[in-house]
Amino acid sequence: MATSIRRQRFPLGSVLFSLSLAAVFGYYAHGVHAAARGVTDWLLIVPAAGIGITALLVIVGTKVIDWYHQRDAAAEKDSSALPALLFMGLLALYVALIPVIGFDLGSLLFLCLALYLQGERRWWVITGFGLVVSATIVLLFIELLGVRLPTLLL
Amino acid sequence: MINAEAFHAALSLLGNTPAAWLVVPPGLIIGLFFGSIPGLSISIAMAVFLPATMYMDFLPAILFLTAIFTGGGFGGAIPAIMLNIPGTSSSVATAFDGYPMARRGEHAQALGIGLVASVLGTLVGYLLLLFTVQSISQWVLRLGPTEMLVVAIWGVTLIAVLNDASISKGIAAGILGILISTIGYSDAGQMRGTFGSMYLLDGIPVIPALIGFFAASELFNLVGKRYIVDDSSLRVVRFRHILDGMGQATSKPFQLLRGGSMGALIGAIPGVGASIANLAAYATAKQRSKNPESFGKGNPSGLIAAESANSSSEGGSMITLLALGLPGGAGTAVLLGAFALHNVTGGPRFIRENPDIVYALIIGNMAQAVLLLVVGIGFIFLAGYIVKLSLKLMIPIVMVLSVVGSYAITGNMVGPITVVATGIIGWLMRRYGFPVAATVVGLLVGGMAEGELVRSMQISGGNLGFVADRPITLVLLALLLLSVLPRVIGSLLKRRRATS
């Protein structure tokens, strides 16, 4: 009877994320050092970035070695990231549109679309929920807490 | 020790000032309300209600504001336990074990534990203040920049090293937080990482970043799930469960006392306060535990340590406020504003000339802690219903609250943008096993660490031998190494065994 040995996938996401962080640390530390007028300007940042980059390279090295030896018992999970990514996109769109359509209309649209994204299809639930929650939150902050929120309708 | 004559005078002063008692319950409710809404904070509540104290006498005014402080201290634990969103920076460690308990259906017990730990922690803090207010004022003055720097490094290192991820990931995450905290204008006037945007001159706003790292990143993960607690039979809020949790907390008096004492001592250090106190107490409880691996997975001891420490740090921070006139954090800074509003200056002279008022404040705050027990039970009974809400509805509501709340804090779009950006970074960190908590701690203490490092450099002239003449720094460094080395050595040995 044939046995199938399933080879672990290369931890590409983890390695890319670690390398990206290391690049950001390096870029930031270099920028601060280049613009510094004295040692106190970079005293914390450059050594901290150096330690961070070293730690990130150790992570990358360990991941690659573990993959090479097929040793990582807790290999990267393959859970679907699509719902989270869609929600992130929706949130980013909501925040980007606030200066244009205000907190009232922006929150209403975000709430309705977020509910739709999570599988709700009854239009009266979507609109009712959106209207009640957005109006309550926006009015709570404006009237009760005295926060000046940019709005379009309220 | 206690000045008996002043103590009696304080009791009669409190007895003859009914207004001092009337303002406490509303103060507690305001604190609970503000603390439990992600995006709002205790300092916001205290600042908003500071003008309301203008027409009060000094004692009721301060008791009203400290009631908000006390209520908010526990209020922050409610979203930390129910939603993994620390309502305040002092509730970060509360979420570590409180939220896993809630996900297991033990939310009512967790809230009960949190309430009792908060109440007893506050009592411990003020009891210590009662006995030590005269002598500690002299001790705090001995802490210089090198000591403060070690305390800040300790805060980040503890949480970076003592987590379930690898040490390298903890360190990288902590440094990410420190680097984010340096964005904006430095003390020396250098612009860093602003990309020319005037909105970033003040740096990345801490509370929106905290909301993004903790709340948004977790909410992204919850999209698609139906409830926080999957099993419907566990989604029940029973008074019995709250009492059960309260019983669990009282059955661990040593842990309560340890967390409370640590919180009060750390809270007494200006600029450190509850944000570090809860993490340090949590790390100590984890180290001393027979089952350290159960921490972060819903161990009640972690919750007890975190909540007792952050509540007792209020008493600790009052030491520096009363004895030195220095605010330990944002909350005590508002209290200092209230002192100024009533033409009172804190400091050794204030304690010497007004011992009756000092003792009245301490006794009044201890009574507030007992009242919190009553008000808090009712409040958590209502808050416990959060787990009954469908996530489909709750995720968008919390997200909108977080975005609007972050706008309220910054007054511009930097807050909401920070929530989105840190939420995405936090989600990626969680996905690849980086401890988000280490980043948040780095963010909280990074500014302080840089300031103290620069001051240490200026004082010592860059000579490392300077530290040898500072015994408190050496003791703190030794404690730092002792707390971190066992985990580092254990991790290296584990790796060696795996490779051989």
The phi, psi pair for B236, rounded to 5°, reads -110, 135
User: What is the percent of chain B with per-residue pLDDT over 70, rounded to a whole number?
Assistant: 86
Q: How many distinct structural domains can be found in chain B? A: 1
Q: Which of residues 5-44 of A touch B (CB under 8 A)?
A: 13-14, 17-18, 21, 25, 28, 31-32, 35-41, 43-44
**pLDDT value of position A77:** 55
CA pair distance B417, B212, nearest whole angstrom: 9
What band does B137 get if pLDDT is binned at 50, 70 and 90?
A: low
pLDDT digits (tens, 9 = 90+) for B421-435: 999 999 999 899 898
Cα angle B115-B283-B323, degrees, rounded to a multiple of 5: 70
Average pLDDT over residues B476-500: 78
**pLDDT value of position A124:** 93
The answer to whether the CB atoms of B175 and A59 lie below 8 A apart is no
pLDDT digits (tens, 9 = 90+) for B9-22: 888 888 888 888 88
More confidently predicted of B222 and B161: B222
Name which of A21, A117, A129 is nearest B172 (Cβ-Cβ): A21
Sequence-distant (6+) residues with CB within 8 A of B347 are B323, B324, B325
The answer to whether the CB atoms of A55 and B175 lie below 8 A apart is yes
The answer to whether the CB atoms of B221 and A84 lie below 8 A apart is yes
> Residue A84 corresponds to which tokens in the numbers above?
């989270």
The answer to whether the CB atoms of B220 and A87 lie below 8 A apart is yes
Strand, helix or coil at B45?
helix
Q: Report yes or no: A141 at the B interface, CB cutoff 8 Å.
A: yes
More confidently predicted of B375 and B165: B375
Contact, B396 vs A114, CB < 8 A? yes
CA pair distance B436, B174, nearest whole angstrom: 8
Nearest of A126, A145, A8, A79 to residue B223 by alpha carbon: A79
**pLDDT value of position B427:** 93
The answer to whether the CB atoms of B223 and A99 lie below 8 A apart is no
**pLDDT value of position A1:** 43
Residues of chain B in contact with residue A58, where contact means CB-CB under 8 angstroms, are 168
pLDDT in tens, chain A (154 residues): 444 456 677 888 899 999 999 999 999 999 999 988 888 888 899 999 999 999 999 999 988 988 887 765 555 555 678 889 999 999 999 999 999 999 999 999 999 999 999 888 899 999 999 999 999 999 988 887 778 889 888 7
**pLDDT value of position B233:** 58
Cα–Cα distances in angstroms (integers) from residue A129 to residues A132, B37, B66, B181, B394, in the given order: 5, 20, 37, 38, 11
Rounded to the nearest angstrom, the minimum Cα separation between B392 and chain A is 6
The answer to whether the CB atoms of A134 and B395 lie below 8 A apart is no
> Residue A53 corresponds to which tokens in the numbers above?
């980059």
More confidently predicted of B40 and B101: B101
CA pair distance B440, B438, nearest whole angstrom: 5
Average pLDDT, chain B: 81
Rounded to the nearest angstrom, the minimum Cα separation between A7 and chain B is 19
The answer to whether the CB atoms of A59 and B171 lie below 8 A apart is no
Is the pLDDT at B309 greater than 70? The verdict is: yes
Average pLDDT over residues B127-131: 85
Rounded to the nearest angstrom, the minimum Cα separation between A4 and chain B is 24
Residues of chain B in contact with residue A46, where contact means CB-CB under 8 angstroms, are none
Name which of A43, A99, A103 is nearest B453 (Cβ-Cβ): A43
CA pair distance B101, B105, nearest whole angstrom: 7
CA pair distance B487, B323, nearest whole angstrom: 38
Q: Report yes or no: A117 at the B interface, CB cutoff 8 Å.
A: yes
Low-confidence winner among B98-102, B311-315, B409-413, B482-486 (lowest mean pLDDT): B482-486
Average pLDDT over residues B85-94: 76
The answer to whether the CB atoms of B172 and A119 lie below 8 A apart is no
More confidently predicted of B494 and B423: B423
Candidates B169, B391, B400, B420, partner chain A, best to mutate (most A CBs within 10 A): B400
Candidates B183, B403, B418, partner chain A, best to mutate (most A CBs within 10 A): B403
pLDDT digits (tens, 9 = 90+) for B53-71: 777 888 899 899 889 988 8
Average pLDDT over residues B302-307: 91
More confidently predicted of B338 and B69: B69
Single pTM value for the model: 0.73
> Residue B204 corresponds to which tokens in the numbers above?
């990345």
Residues of chain B in contact with residue A10, where contact means CB-CB under 8 angstroms, are none
Greatest Cα-to-Cα distance within chain A, rounded to the nearest angstrom:
74
> Residue A65 corresponds to which tokens in the numbers above?
């070695």
Residues of chain B in contact with residue A84, where contact means CB-CB under 8 angstroms, are 220-221, 223, 427
**pLDDT value of position B435:** 85
- The residue written with tokens 């074990």 in the block is B97
Is the pLDDT at B159 greater than 90? The verdict is: no
Contact, A60 vs A15, CB < 8 A? yes
Name which of B168, B175, B188 is nearest A48 (Cβ-Cβ): B175
Average pLDDT over residues B287-312: 88
Domain boundaries, chain A: 12-68, 82-144
Residues of chain A in contact with residue B176, where contact means CB-CB under 8 angstroms, are 21, 25, 52
What band does B416 get if pLDDT is binned at 50, 70 and 90?
A: very high
Domain span at B260: 4-499
Candidates A37, A45, A77, partner chain B, best to mutate (most B CBs within 10 A): A45
The answer to whether the CB atoms of A37 and B188 lie below 8 A apart is yes
> Residue B156 corresponds to which tokens in the numbers above?
């980040």
**pLDDT value of position A24:** 96
Residues of chain A in contact with residue B221, where contact means CB-CB under 8 angstroms, are 84
The partner residues of B191 in beta bridges, in order of sequence, read B185
